[in-house]
């Protein structure tokens, strides 16, 4: 019974996964680069933690922090660059 439930769960999740992959690849490319840097900051940081205040670090520190987050949180290079520029400009 337990194995049956596991298999059903596996199938459901695999199905959702496949649909999401297809949807992701088939959609029009709405360029991330067209989004404002503030929007990217609001959408990405909050995926793990609250959105940071630009005043929390100085401009030089933001270089280090965003590089760290690009690697740890798997941000795209374009997102990391725009978020860094936003933090530095709003600081």
Residues that bind other proteins (CB under 8 A): 2, 6, 9, 13, 16-17, 20-21, 23-32, 35, 43-44, 46-53, 56, 60-61, 63-65, 67-68, 70-78
Of 70 and 91, CB closest to other proteins? 70
State the minimum distance, in angstroms, from the CB of residue 2 to other proteins. Answer: 8
Residue from 44, 36, 35, 38 nearest 72 by CA: 44
Nearer of residues 4 and 48 to other proteins, judged by Cβ: 48
CB 31 to other proteins: min, Å: 8
């Amino acid at each position: 019974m337990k194995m049956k439930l596991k298999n059903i769960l596996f199938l459901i999740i695999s199905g959702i996964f496949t649909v999401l992959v297809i949807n992701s690849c088939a959609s029009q490319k709405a360029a991330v680069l067209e989004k404002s840097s503030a929007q990217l900051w609001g959408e990405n940081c909050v995926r793990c933690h609250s959105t940071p205040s630009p005043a929390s670090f100085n401009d030089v520190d933001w270089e280090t922090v965003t590089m760290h987050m690009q690697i740890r949180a798997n941000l795209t290079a374009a997102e990391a660059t725009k978020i860094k520029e936003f933090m530095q400009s709003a600081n």
